[in-house]
């Protein structure tokens, strides 16, 4: 009897996440999709971030292995801090600089492997991985947890070194001439990281590495992979963009799983998904507003007070998720009053967001417009109340409100700007009421388009399969 030939092992791919929840989670979701298609993955991580890999290692034990490297010590970071979760936004540049020190141990490991790495897929804050890929003779692929638009903007700024003229205020307009439609954004809407870079907001070696990361992405990479889909950003995928180095962009989103039964994606939830679902079961379809600004946003007491007052004045049912960095800003007595009225719940810490957004009672999502939250809401068919604060969020908000029409503006002031409570209460009441009907309907339409995109025959499915085939050709 003839012995069956052993299956040919898949190509070996190195995956390098950035140590932030909003960056690591979608890249690990994407890694799961690659592993399911027969690629062999090594995922670089640090000891404290290893638990983030647990779902991936559990579902793809034969295809994925971790490469655990001690987190580099850094004078601006306390010992033991290895993830930006709960940190203020200004910590990002420091983390970018710190984890760049992983380059040499990763390079030494890769050179010691009997099976060569054929591709390196790295977060766009790990631009140093692109010349590393070249040294290994591998294809360098930039993974962007943002959409195309949100990725093109910072690359454009660091490439062109746009400056605000002396004497101009935060209303000064910055135009992006290489982006379709040539959009203009006010200076207050420009990423804080870029403004810190211009204003020497951090030490010189950190400043230069931050800029160089973006330049490496443009100059050294083979392609970009974006957690987006054509139904959202087809306008920015139709032709190569100068602000993306004229590189091919593989649009493979949404990459997040449709379900998260345990509610532990990204960390241990502060409330069990079943318990939160049971609380929501008391409401009919659609009136509950889910409020969450992600793991990074830091609310000032004034902002939190305005939000709390608006929620009370609007009388809408709500779930307000308060991250670890904001636990002390909820106004005294607010939580007890909401609970007594039976229409409000405050969750302190990580929440089972995927499951919550898919509960029938949740009809709106008040969000900072971080891209993971945007895609999770879009996939669930939940319209958004856009409250951008920094980074790519202003670009995302404009896309959602003005182009795709699945959101309305809740607050346009940005980080630290408190809205008028009365005006915000009116926005909440209108959204849940008849005035929000058309936006709710459009959100349902987009959810159907997103579901089609990731199934066989869909645009994201085709891009994912095409990318895998290109990687196979490299081995």
Tens-digit pLDDT profile for residues 186-221: 999 998 889 888 887 677 888 899 999 999 999 999
Same domain, 91 and 181: yes
Report pLDDT digits (tens) over 417-449.
888 999 999 999 999 999 989 999 999 999 999
CA atoms within 13 A on the CB side of 429: 11
Same domain, 166 and 288: no
Average pLDDT of span 239-250: 96
Same domain, 85 and 188: yes
Helix (H) or strand (E) holding 397: helix 393-398
Q: Tell me the C-alpha distance between 291 and 276, whole Å.
A: 14
> Residue 458 domain-assigned?
no
Same domain, 248 and 345: no
Neighbour-count burial for 145-158, b at 16+ CB within 10 Å, e otherwise = bbbbbbbbbbbbbb
Q: Percentage of the chain with pLDDT > 70?
A: 94
| Cβ contact 118:473 at 8 Å | no
Report pLDDT digits (tens) over 145-156.
899 999 999 999
> Residue 417 domain-assigned?
yes
Same domain, 358 and 429: yes
Give the domain range for residue 153: 12-255
**Other CB atoms closer than 10 Å to residue 19's CB: what's the count?**
26
Residues carrying an active site annotation: 23, 123
> Residue 263 domain-assigned?
no
Tell me: pLDDT of 36 over 80: yes
Q: How confident is the model at residue 395 (pLDDT cuts 50, 70, 90)?
A: very high
> Residue 472 domain-assigned?
no
Q: Tell me the C-alpha distance between 118 and 133, whole Å.
A: 9
For residue 4, the model assigns a pLDDT of 36
CATH number, domain with residue 110 = 3.40.50.2000
Tell me: pLDDT of 461 over 60: yes
Same domain, 241 and 382: no
200 vs 456, higher pLDDT: 456
Same domain, 16 and 120: yes
Report pLDDT digits (tens) over 8-30.
678 999 999 999 888 999 999 99
> Residue 366 domain-assigned?
yes
Q: Tell me the C-alpha distance between 437 and 332, whole Å.
A: 34
> Residue 463 domain-assigned?
no
Tell me: pLDDT of 371 over 90: yes
Same domain, 180 and 282: no
For residue 350, the model assigns a pLDDT of 73
Query: How many independent structural domains does the chain possess?
Result: 2
Same domain, 216 and 341: no
Same domain, 159 and 300: no
Lowest mean pLDDT among 164-168, 297-301, 308-312, 337-341: 297-301
Same domain, 192 and 248: yes
Rounded CA Rg of the chain: 22
Bond preceding residue 374 cis, omega within 30 of 0: no
Same domain, 175 and 317: no
């Amino acid at each position: 009897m003839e012995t069956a030939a052993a299956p040919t092992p898949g190509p070996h791919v190195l995956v390098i996440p950035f140590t932030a929840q909003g960056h690591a989670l979608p890249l690990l979701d994407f890694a799961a999709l690659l592993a399911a298609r027969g690629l062999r993955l090594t995922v670089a991580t640090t000891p404290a971030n290893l638990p983030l890999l647990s779902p991936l290692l559990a579902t793809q034990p034969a295809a994925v292995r971790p490469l655990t490297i001690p987190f580099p010590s850094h004078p601006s970071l306390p010992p033991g801090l290895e993830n930006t979760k709960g940190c203020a936004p200004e910590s990002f540049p420091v983390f970018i600089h710190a984890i760049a020190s992983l380059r040499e141990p990763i390079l030494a490991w890769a050179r010691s492997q009997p099976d060569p790495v054929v591709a390196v897929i790295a977060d766009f804050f790990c631009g140093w991985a692109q010349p590393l890929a070249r040294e290994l003779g591998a294809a360098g692929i930039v993974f962007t947890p943002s959409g195309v638009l949100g990725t093109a903007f910072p690359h454009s700024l660091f490439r062109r070194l746009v400056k605000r003229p002396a004497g101009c205020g935060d209303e000064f307009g910055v135009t992006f001439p290489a982006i379709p439609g040539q959009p203009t954004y006010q200076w207050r809407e420009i990423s804080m990281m870029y403004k810190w870079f211009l204003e020497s907001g951090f030490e010189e070696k950190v400043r230069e590495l931050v800029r160089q990361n973006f330049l490496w992405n443009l100059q050294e990479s083979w392609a970009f992979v974006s957690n987006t889909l054509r139904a959202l950003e087809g306008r920015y995928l139709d032709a190569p963009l100068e602000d993306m180095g004229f590189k091919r962009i593989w649009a493979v989103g949404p990459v997040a799983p449709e379900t998260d039964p345990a509610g532990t994606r990204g960390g241990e939830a502060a409330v069990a998904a079943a318990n939160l679902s049971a609380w929501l079961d008391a409401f009919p379809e659609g009136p509950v507003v889910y409020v969450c600004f992600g793991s990074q946003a830091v609310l000032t007491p004034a902002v939190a007070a305005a939000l709390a007052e608006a929620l009370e004045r609007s009388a809408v049912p709500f779930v307000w998720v308060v991250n670890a960095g904001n636990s002390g800003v909820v106004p005294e007595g607010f939580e007890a009053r909401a609970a007594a009225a039976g229409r409000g719940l405050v969750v302190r810490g990580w929440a089972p967001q995927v499951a919550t957004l898919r509960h029938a009672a949740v009809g709106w999502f008040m969000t900072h417009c971080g891209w993971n939250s945007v895609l999770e809401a879009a996939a669930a068919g939940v319209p958004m109340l856009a409250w951008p604060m920094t980074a790519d969020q202003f670009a995302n908000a404009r896309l959602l409100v003005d182009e795709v029409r699945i959101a309305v503006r809740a607050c346009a002031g940005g980080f630290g700007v408190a809205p008028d409570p009365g005006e915000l209460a009116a926005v909440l009441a209108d959204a849940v009421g008849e005035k929000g009907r058309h936006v709710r309907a459009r959100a349902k339409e987009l959810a159907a388009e997103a579901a089609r995109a990731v199934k066989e025959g869909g645009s994201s499915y085709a891009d994912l399969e095409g990318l895998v085939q290109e990687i196979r050709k490299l081995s």
